[in-house]
Amino acid sequence: MCPESLPESLPESFSESEARTEIERLTQALHHHNYRYYALDDPEITDQEYDRLLRQLQELETRYPHLKSADSPSQRVGVEPLSSFAEVAHLQPMLSLDNAFSDDEVSDFDRRIRERLNWREPLAYVCEPKLDGVAVSLLYEQGVLVRGATRGDGRTGEDISANVRTIASIPLRLQGDSVPPLVEVRGEIYMSRAGFEALNNAARDSGEKSFVNPRNAAAGSLRQLDSRITAARPLAIFAYGVGFSEDWPLPAEHYLVLQQLRSWGFPVNPLVEVAEDIDGCFAYYQRLAQSRDSLDYDIDGIVYKVNDLALQKRLGFVARAPRWAIARKFPAQEMSTRLLDVEFQVGRTGAVTPVARLEPVFVGGVTVSNATLHNRDEIERLDVRIGDTVIVRRAGDVIPQIVKVVETERPADARPIVFPEHCPVCGSPVESVGGEAAMRCSGGLVCGAQRKQAIIHFASRKAMDIDGLGEKLIEQLVDAGLVHSVADLYSLESADLVGLERMAQKSADNVVSALEASKATTLARFLYALGIREVGEATAQALANHFITIEKLATASEEDLQQVADVGPVVAHFVREFFSAEDNLAIVRQLREQGVHWPDPVASDSGSAILKGQVWVLTGSLETMSRTEAKEKLQQLGAKVAGSVSAKTTCVVAAPGAGSKLNKATELGIEVLDEDGFVALLHEQGLL
Ligand code: JCF
């Protein structure tokens, strides 16, 4: 099992029996390491070492094809295409789930089954995220994967064995010594959001059709007759149950079935929990609804299952769904509605963005009446017309998107969308620059829209954070000719503001004080506020940490700039371009003359960056400061601040309301600081 004991390259002069032993040894080792990686999330060897073992096995199998085993870990690459999928019967039917759309419906479910069981005590339920993927049944004979099938109508499905064998997290051989002679394992195959994005980007780059959502991508990938295509798709599985089994002592609880699945080598969702009663189920729903957007896979709800298997058996089924389980659905993230019109908005960098005006529709928990159409290519790709019925998707905080046109519902008078040749705000020609998909207004700061957007960005919370200077006010200031560029803001007096819409003396004074207060800032915020193209929050922080003073940054060459982590040629070019323009330098100078200032940031490569090289994660909501402030302070101390907990995390700051990230940190044995501890650290470092 120990990889170090294997020679770098295999000797030429293997006898056949030595080859047989070696193949079996490598096969065992690879199965074992798959188990460590996918089921336990705790690998013992590096990816490189794993690849080396796999290459050695492949080399031997090429030399001795007849020694290749049926469950060889080398089959993940796929095989010759099929002409069709065979129909196969499940040994035990695959069930579907009844749905509940409110807590009341879940209460009814709990009451119903307790009545049926005559059960007066609270009932314990296993709670798990309901993945939006494709259900499969995997058949293992003597521990070896012999068949994979779709759910189909629940009784029979399609044989997709060749495809499921390519999915790395599906064990080809069950691990451990409690393996039944025959067992059907049920699970949900899904595509991670990250995998989906990568797949779609690659498809778009090569001019192929992209997928509407991760579920369609997973389903489409499993429906390939050529398993070599499936092999190239980022699919994964979470196992959630056992169908038919032979000679296997059924555990007493569903939760123990899941533990067994994990020890056989299946990934089981780490967010699965047992709730002691129905109130625990409600609490689980609240927590998961909160973290839904931060998961790396789509879920459409939660599954609650009676934990006690003897009780499950007594409850039995109705039609095709078990009485002992229910799916509590989240609000739908995709809905259909009508595209009423398309307007064109001009952004800070002049990009002209088509915005869809929609018949209002409730999706992802809010009413949506606008969606972005991104750019001209996107309109072409979707082939969308005004009047069309479209599918709108809103997942989390992201801007609602149109993902698809319902072609069958296109009205006869649907109108094509015409991209404007002139800026709708300033009338300057709209151009496409250097192969970009975006079309830009060529008016620059002549264009009122670009000026307004630049000022809105400058004043925004993560930039100069000027309280009370919102979009409406900025629009009025620009339209009234009071403000032409950000440099004019600090000359504003209350008298200029009084009399503008919704501006009484008091609010005007407040805006002037907020302007004054915003002058004390950080170099990172200031750089971000300038709105240099491609310089977001993180890049601004990295530039500030690296160059320490704006003078050094403003005179840095593109080569110097690329020394900064995460700064590539594109960002370097835009930064250099910005500081080469006399107008921009004048604005920076004026702002500083008017009193905008910052302390020298602590350079991340200086000795005082006590958290240099560390990765911190913030979770929960801090009571003493905003998340942005906490993040800035950690970055000033040299730490990287990540969004999720992994083995690379150094420390987690757990504020009140901390959820799954805290659990994960505890699971991984990562240091956790509470808010008091964190505040004390900042005090020690002179940051509070
Ligand atoms: O994650 C799922 N989509 C999922 C589907 C999870 C489960 O525990 C399920 C399921 C469908 C049927 N359990 C059953 C019985």
Contact call for residues 325 and 306 (beta carbons, < 8 A): yes
User: Tell me, what's the pLDDT at 204?
Assistant: 82
Residue pointed to by tokens 């150094």: 650
Question: Residue 240: in which H helix or E strand, if any?
Answer: strand 235-246
- The CATH number corresponding to 99-329 among 3.40.1370.10, 3.30.470.30, 3.40.50.300, 3.40.640.10 equals 3.30.470.30
State which of 90, 94, 188 you would mutate to test the pocket of ligand 1, scoring each by most atoms of that ligand within 8 A of its C-beta: 188
Residue 171 near ligand 1, beta carbon < 6 Å: no
**Burial profile 571-599: b = 16 or more Cβ within 10 angstroms, e = fewer:** bbebbbebbeeeebeebbebbeeeebebe
Measured distance CA(540)–CA(550) in Å, rounded: 11
What angle is formed at CA 135 by the lines to CA 129 and CA 140, rounded to 5 degrees? 110
CA distances from 445 to 216, 409, 437, 579 (A): 43, 43, 22, 16
Mean pLDDT in each 10-residue stretch from start to end of the chain (688 residues)?
50 82 94 92 90 93 91 88 94 94 95 96 97 97 97 95 96 94 98 95 85 93 96 97 95 98 97 97 95 92 97 92 96 93 94 96 92 92 95 85 93 96 95 86 90 96 96 94 94 93 93 96 95 93 89 96 91 95 93 90 57 91 87 85 90 90 90 93 81
DSSP E strands, 85-163: 87-89, 99-100, 125-131, 134-141, 144-150, 156-158
- The CATH number corresponding to 523-593 among 3.40.50.300, 1.10.150.20, 1.10.150.120, 3.20.20.140 equals 1.10.150.20
Measured distance CA(441)–CA(428) in Å, rounded: 6
- The CATH number corresponding to 334-416 among 3.40.630.30, 2.40.50.140, 3.30.465.10, 3.40.50.720 equals 2.40.50.140
User: Tell me, what's the pLDDT at 571?
Assistant: 96
Residue 241 near ligand 1, beta carbon < 6 Å: yes
User: Tell me, what's the pLDDT at 11?
Assistant: 64
Residue 423 near ligand 1, beta carbon < 6 Å: no
Catalytic residue among 68, 130, 329, 640: 130
> Does the fold of domain 523-593 match that of domain 444-518?
yes
For residue 82, the 8-state DSSP code is P
- The CATH number corresponding to 615-684 among 3.20.20.140, 3.40.30.10, 3.40.50.1820, 3.40.50.10190 equals 3.40.50.10190
Question: Residue 511: in which H helix or E strand, if any?
Answer: helix 505-518
User: Tell me, what's the pLDDT at 5?
Assistant: 46
Q: Locate the ligand 1 atom nearest the alpha carbon of residue 305 and give its number.
A: 8
The CATH number assigned to the domain with range 3-77 reads 1.10.287.610
What's the pTM value of the predicted model, to 2 decimals? 0.67
- The domain spans of the chain are 3-77, 99-329, 334-416, 444-518, 523-593, 615-684
Fold (CATH) for 444-518? DNA polymerase; domain 1 (1.10.150)
Residue 95 near ligand 1, beta carbon < 6 Å: yes
Residue whose CA is at the smallest distance from ligand 1 atom 7: 240
User: Tell me, what's the pLDDT at 293?
Assistant: 86
Q: Could you confirm whether 552 is annotated as catalytic?
A: no
CA of 303 to the centre of ligand 1 (A): 7
